[in-house]
Structure 1
Amino acid sequence: MADPTTYRPKPGEIPTDPGVYRFRDAHGRVIYVGKAKSLRPRLSSYFQDITALHPRTATMVTTATSVEWTVVRTEVEALQLEYSWIKEFDPRFNVKYRDDKSYPFLAVTLGEEFPRAQVMRGAKRKGTRYFGPYGHAWAIRETLDLLLRVFPMRTCSAGVFKRATASGRPCLLAYIDKCSAPCVGRVTPDEHRAIAEDFCDFMAGNTTRFAKRLETRMKEAAAELDFEQAARLRDDIGALTKALEKQAVVLGDATDADVFALADDDLEAAVQVFHVRGGRIRGQRGWVVEKESEDLPTLVEHLLLQVYGDAERDAIPREVLVPTEPADVDAVTEWLSSVRGSAVSVRVPQRGDKRTLMETVRRNAEQSLARHKVARAGDLTLRSKALQELQDYLGLEDAPLRIECYDVSHVQGTNVVASMVVFEDGLARKSEYRRFIVRGATAGSEGDEPVTVDDTAAMREVLTRRFRRYLEDAEGTGDLDLSTGVVGGDAQARDGAPAAGDDDDAPSSGPIDPETGRPRRFAYPPSLVVVDGGLPQVNAAQAVLDELGIEEVALVGLAKRLEEVWVPRDDHPVILPRTSEGLYLLQRLRDEAHRFAITFHRQRRSKAMTTSQLDGIPGLGASRQKALLRHFGSVKRLRQADIADIMALPGFGRSLASAVVSHLAEGTPQQPAVNLTTGEVLE
């Protein structure tokens, strides 16, 4: 715990201009980001009598060891810089809005040659148009099924589309007139795109012209005595009408607004928003937030930053209705208007239909908060209790705020991988997860071939790579290969993230990257390391820490058989009560590390099986194997290709193409290979 007076800046040093400030801990991590109209009074408020501060704020200022600030010209610039820094550094003491559930969107992939309508969650992708969010995925599918009668656009996956194109046979939806079958050329790409754009226009609220157009065509068909076509058009009109009935009109037809409401208690607040477009409720969304020391105007300001920070201009409505004005309402309004490209009104409705709708949204927020409190009763207390129990049972000086857990996964010594998962303040921090390919370097080798690696040797290698990198980044002596101890490592990344050892080749300048201002990935240690296993694994891990001279990191192992907690060089385990929250936290860590490791192992094993039939061909490396499979789709189709077909690919000459054809022709027929993960037969 740091003394705030040791890093308190002199009052005369702090400017009175608008700006953004950052508190850092002893390892250089940004733990809090804030903004102020005037930096001097705001920063001075953190260094008053610590007993007068909010408990969370007091913990923050005693955890921090330094504070820095950046002066800007206007409050709008301060707002933008604060948002970008919160997004970049993810400070642990800033307010974090958590969805009370995962909301699906109806997405149309307009960036593809043949746009596809589908249910989509998660981060928004470029070139895709979104509608929603909806409360349930089944509501999207039900609406989509109705509208495909009128807008027969593609809904199939890329794999189904390619198979239909290759075979010349469309799927069932094409036969029941719910897809225009662009895969077999029934419509041109331009015609299919026109259908997708009409679908988007209808979902955006331009509904009248489609209903009138269908009604006109129905009457024309009836006049020409084409009663079958008239009946189909009548059913299409019914489908449109039914889809529209699912979205109640709540405001005037021209109203575009987002309506926010809050329900709070002393510790938490629940937020709900209704998205109204064209006077209709197009979707709703909710969050739950720990209030900490934030007042309601500041909560509303941070909420609007999160909701609209990455939004496209057409996602911001003309009106934003809030229960109370943001702390800097003028700056927020100016910022939203600049993003949208036209005026945005941020206000509190006082009367009329909009006030009535806000009351409805508020009741939803109250119900959401009640559900959250039931589902997570005592969550904050239990997390604190779990960390306190671990401190007491393991004899630690402080509660382990950052815990890393490691696990190894393999099948009989093949495709050996390991995982590292991170919990901070008792919660998973998935952005810090890492995964490793175990090479066997630390277990010894014979010539150029690694020897067989068991679990203990694999754990030793992974911990050596992780903590050698920590020492290198902390001391600033250069980038380190995590597998050999040489600059430039190959630790594999978590899903969708950069590799853990892929820092720039330029020498580091200590724990802070001079280009980004962020701590290097392994530049700070955990408070506690947990390994999956008993005394042998724990002693092997402790040997690594001893060799590297790391003394500030505590270490334990969790054995599966009796859930015993082992500490290094102790023949007797620590037995935590079965009802202990500390034991429950260790079990969650172990299970999450196991899940993450086995998922990575299955990916590598599946990948190895799909390319094994092309191994052993001189000159055909991994990248060219991928190119062949990407072009032909499977080894079966590659066998049917001739030398000229293979030579058409970039990088394939006649000799290499001949080698591929000869290799596949010489292979004797075998039983089909099966992917052990999915059960799919591999060609």
Structure 2
Amino acid sequence: MPPSSLFRPDEFSESAGVYLMKDAKGRILYVGKAKSLRRRLASYFRSPEDLAPKTRALMARVLSIDTLLTATEKEALLLENSLIKKHRPRYNILLRDDKQYLLFKLTKQTDYPRLTVARKAERDGAAYFGPFTSATDAKETWRLIGRVFPLRKCTDRTLHNRVRPCLYHYIGQCLAPCVNDVPRDEYAGLVEKVEMLLGGRSEELIRDLEARMREASAALAFERAAILRDQVRAVRRTLERQATVLPGGGDLDAAAVAPAAGGLGLCLLFVRQGRMIGQKTFFWPDLGPEDGPEAVAAALVQFYGPERLIPGLVLLPWPIEDETVEQVLAERRGAGISLRPPRSTVEKQLLDMARRNAAQAAPRQDQPGLAEALARALHMAEPPGRIECVDVSHLQGEATRAGHVVFLQGEPARNENRAYALDDTGGDDYRALGQWTERRLVSGPPWPDLVLIDGGRGQLEAVRRSLAEAGQEGLFALASIAKAGRRAGELGDQIFLPGRKNPLPLRPGSPEMLFLQRLRDAAHAFVIGRQRRARRSGLMQSELLSLPGIGPKTAKLLWDNFASVEEMLAASEADLAAVPGLGRKKARVVHAALQSLHAGG
């Protein structure tokens, strides 16, 4: 533990704020928030015997503390959450799950609504249902609903521009309001049935459909009766996928933690309209039951982001002590929310179910100790948590792109992948990697524990030299992966480290080698994809400038207001006229030119 003389709690403010604990290299180890920074930080400067094991290990590495003052504790909580997601500190509790689960979105602000699958809940007047943790089940349900409730599938733009029905109409899965005069009350009836099904009024819907089916059959309208029969069957098949856990209906989530093999597990159960629609588990190694309250509070703020569908009730094992958590979630939900322990027998059973699932949250050890084995193989002091793999791509020496993919705890973190457009390097990979190193240092933390370079000793040395010239050698570990030569006995890939002439003796097919190859392949695919996208964008921009009425000035206006050519093509004449500096007359010319480009494509 660092000497207490390095830290004087009375030097910190009594205001609310966030504190960042850093190690000797300036890397952020922990981010915390406090109502009073002075009182919170004073709790760390006690005898090591009085600290929890995790806190004791943290303080043994802390050499500096930065603070950021906020006006309120709620602002501190939001800032803390943002910094944790950005820097991913080693000692913070972090949900390693950036995935947005599937939702059903039923548009409402149109004469002919449609049901789509979305990943974000927006405040756009649409009705959202979910979340569904299984994309396969969600999409199958969507297809099932579409077969018997023939709502339109096309976008608003296609709806207004189509001149003949699509395939869905010909197979009986769309009424084709794009070209047919579909009565709005008839269409609204279909929308109401879909909303009843997804909104928990399924039994009412089944009774209504069965009554109509009997009426149609009595009137000898057998074709209509058959359609209603199929709708009843579709509804029942949809309901069979979900177990009823709240007989009275209602929406809630249940969150519980439990000791799991080697750590702490957390499970979230999702209940909508009284039915279990899914669950999600998380696992933190080296945490124990004493970390449960902190883990639950952190998980709630991180998981229920602004784009999640948040229920009005979340069951917890204990009351949340930090009232700002409830305030933040209520603000994100746009309505009140209750975070509380269970009160009824059914609620207690749900929380117990979540607890049992949390106890099984530890990942299957198909490759036991991979991170530790990788650290040993690469001569690293500690197992790598964050790994970045970099690759370079160019087109005959031009339009060079360098990019890296990020893996966290052995799993891809695609939202953190980055690609850089580099200066002309003439096809020189060494210069390109030097430029990438400079750009990566400018991008700043979170720093990787390991950077894997696609290349041999030369590429590895180019990155090491660039780090040394920037005064950052040793900021993170380096290794490279290259195809072996064709001499006898040299098959597959080889791994190199700085300052070592010969490759590491990694066995082909070993878990460590397979993982490094997976990293290399992911980086290669990512950079090639970005290279192709940039090439397509360049070709489209060139084609855009070739259109009549669109010169460099007009093209600049378009690029300043639209993110892509696709957005320009989708824009209406009114959208174009709204572009500052374009004007109504010019918008008409530009719209006609863009439509000619679209027709030609």
Report TM bin, short chain: 0.7 to 0.9
- Matched residues, number: 571
Map of 2:372 onto structure 1: 384
Equivalent residues in 2 for 1:79-228, closer than 5 Å: 82-87=80-85, 89-98=87-96, 103-109=101-107, 115-121=113-119, 123-127=120-124, 129-148=127-146, 151-156=149-154, 158=155, 166=161, 168-187=163-182, 195-196=190-191, 199-207=194-202, 210-215=205-210, 217-218=212-213, 220-222=215-217, 224-228=219-223
Contact 2:481/2:520 (CA < 8 Å) preserved in 1?
A: yes
Q: Which of 622, 639, 650 does residue 587 from structure 2 map onto?
A: 650
Matched, 1:418 2:416: no
Map of 2:427 onto structure 1: 453
Q: Relative to structure 1, is the Cα distance of residues 544 and 360 closer, same or farther in structure 2, using a 3 angstrom cutoff? A: closer
Map of 2:444 onto structure 1: 522
Q: Distance in 2 between matches of 1:628 and 1:340?
A: 35
Q: Distance in 2 between matches of 1:429 and 1:57?
A: 27
Q: Relative to structure 1, is the Cα distance of residues 291 and 545 closer, same or farther in structure 2, using a 3 angstrom cutoff? A: closer
Once the 2 structures are TM-superposed, how far is the Cα of residue 83 of structure 1 from its aligned partner? 3.9
Map of 1:374 onto structure 2: 364
Equivalent residues in 2 for 1:230-269, closer than 5 Å: 230-265=225-260, 267-269=262-264
Q: Distance in 2 between matches of 1:457 and 1:682?
A: 40
Map of 1:557 onto structure 2: 480
Contact 2:250/2:274 (CA < 8 Å) preserved in 1?
A: yes
Gap regions ≥5 residues in structure 2:
485-491, 571-583
Once the 2 structures are TM-superposed, how far is the Cα of residue 651 of structure 1 from its aligned partner? 8.3
Contact 1:419/1:596 (CA < 8 Å) preserved in 2?
A: yes
Once the 2 structures are TM-superposed, how far is the Cα of residue 579 of structure 1 from its aligned partner? 7.4
Q: Distance in 1 between matches of 2:6 and 2:123?
A: 44
SS class of match (2:480): strand
Map of 2:310 onto structure 1: 315
Q: Which of 384, 396, 409 does residue 393 from structure 2 map onto?
A: 409
Equivalent residues in 2 for 1:288-299, closer than 5 Å: 288-290=283-285, 292=287, 295-299=291-295
Matched, 1:60 2:58: yes
Matched, 1:534 2:462: no
Partner amino acid, structure 1, of 2:228: L
Contact 1:19/1:78 (CA < 8 Å) preserved in 2?
A: yes
SS class of match (1:391): coil
- Normalised by the length of structure 1, the TM-score is 0.68
Map of 1:668 onto structure 2: none
Deviations 1:462-510 (A, max 9, x none): 335445xx4xxxxxxxxxxxxxxxxxxxxxxxxxxxxxxxxxxxxxxxx
Contact 1:610/1:682 (CA < 8 Å) preserved in 2?
A: no
Equivalent residues in 2 for 1:556-595, closer than 5 Å: 556-561=479-484, 562-566=492-496, 572-578=502-508, 586-595=516-525
Partner amino acid, structure 2, of 1:132: G
Partner amino acid, structure 2, of 1:598: I
Once the 2 structures are TM-superposed, how far is the Cα of residue 325 of structure 1 from its aligned partner? 0.3
Matched, 1:348 2:278: no
Q: Distance in 2 between matches of 1:63 and 1:558?
A: 32
Q: Relative to structure 1, is the Cα distance of residues 585 and 328 closer, same or farther in structure 2, using a 3 angstrom cutoff? A: same
Contact 1:164/1:171 (CA < 8 Å) preserved in 2?
A: no
Q: Relative to structure 1, is the Cα distance of residues 208 and 274 closer, same or farther in structure 2, using a 3 angstrom cutoff? A: same
SS class of match (1:205): coil
Bigger drift between 17-26 and 299-308 goes to: 17-26
Matched, 1:462 2:436: yes
Q: Which of 268, 271, 292 does residue 276 from structure 1 map onto?
A: 271
Contact 2:269/2:276 (CA < 8 Å) preserved in 1?
A: yes
Once the 2 structures are TM-superposed, how far is the Cα of residue 613 of structure 1 from its aligned partner? 5.6
Partner amino acid, structure 1, of 2:453: V
Bigger drift between 245-254 and 622-631 goes to: 622-631
Q: Relative to structure 1, is the Cα distance of residues 560 and 259 closer, same or farther in structure 2, using a 3 angstrom cutoff? A: same
Matched, 1:23 2:21: yes
Once the 2 structures are TM-superposed, how far is the Cα of residue 631 of structure 1 from its aligned partner? 6.5
Contact 1:275/1:284 (CA < 8 Å) preserved in 2?
A: yes
Q: Distance in 1 between matches of 2:109 and 2:41?
A: 47
Q: Distance in 2 between matches of 1:460 and 1:35?
A: 38
Contact 1:527/1:552 (CA < 8 Å) preserved in 2?
A: no
Deviations 1:436-467 (A, max 9, x none): 22331xx4xxxxxxxx4243343344335445
Once the 2 structures are TM-superposed, how far is the Cα of residue 261 of structure 1 from its aligned partner? 3.5
SS class of match (1:596): helix
Partner amino acid, structure 1, of 2:363: K
Equivalent residues in 2 for 1:436-451, closer than 5 Å: 436-440=420-424, 443=425
Q: Distance in 1 between matches of 2:254 and 2:84?
A: 25
Q: Distance in 2 between matches of 1:188 and 1:65?
A: 72
Q: Distance in 2 between matches of 1:113 and 1:607?
A: 36
Q: Relative to structure 1, is the Cα distance of residues 575 and 206 closer, same or farther in structure 2, using a 3 angstrom cutoff? A: same
> Among the aligned pairs, what percent are the same residue?
34
SS class of match (2:363): helix
Matched, 1:434 2:418: yes
Once the 2 structures are TM-superposed, how far is the Cα of residue 435 of structure 1 from its aligned partner? 0.8
Q: Relative to structure 1, is the Cα distance of residues 344 and 533 closer, same or farther in structure 2, using a 3 angstrom cutoff? A: closer
Deviations 1:601-645 (A, max 9, x none): 222234445566667679645667999876768xxxxxxxxxxxx
Q: Relative to structure 1, is the Cα distance of residues 256 and 564 closer, same or farther in structure 2, using a 3 angstrom cutoff? A: closer
Once the 2 structures are TM-superposed, how far is the Cα of residue 594 of structure 1 from its aligned partner? 1.6
Q: Distance in 2 between matches of 1:424 and 1:223?
A: 63
Q: Distance in 2 between matches of 1:632 and 1:310?
A: 30
Partner amino acid, structure 1, of 2:102: P
Q: Distance in 2 between matches of 1:466 and 1:382?
A: 27
Once the 2 structures are TM-superposed, how far is the Cα of residue 203 of structure 1 from its aligned partner? 0.8
Deviations 1:339-372 (A, max 9, x none): 56346251135x6333334444444444x42xx4
Partner amino acid, structure 2, of 1:650: A
SS class of match (1:202): helix
Q: Relative to structure 1, is the Cα distance of residues 559 and 332 closer, same or farther in structure 2, using a 3 angstrom cutoff? A: closer
Once the 2 structures are TM-superposed, how far is the Cα of residue 11 of structure 1 from its aligned partner? 3.9
SS class of match (1:310): coil
Q: Distance in 1 between matches of 2:436 and 2:98?
A: 36
Once the 2 structures are TM-superposed, how far is the Cα of residue 597 of structure 1 from its aligned partner? 1.0
Q: What is the aligned-residue RMSD (CA, Å)?
A: 4.7
Partner amino acid, structure 1, of 2:115: A
Once the 2 structures are TM-superposed, how far is the Cα of residue 285 of structure 1 from its aligned partner? 2.9
Q: Distance in 1 between matches of 2:545 and 2:70?
A: 59
Once the 2 structures are TM-superposed, how far is the Cα of residue 95 of structure 1 from its aligned partner? 1.0
SS class of match (1:86): helix
Q: Distance in 2 between matches of 1:119 and 1:415?
A: 37
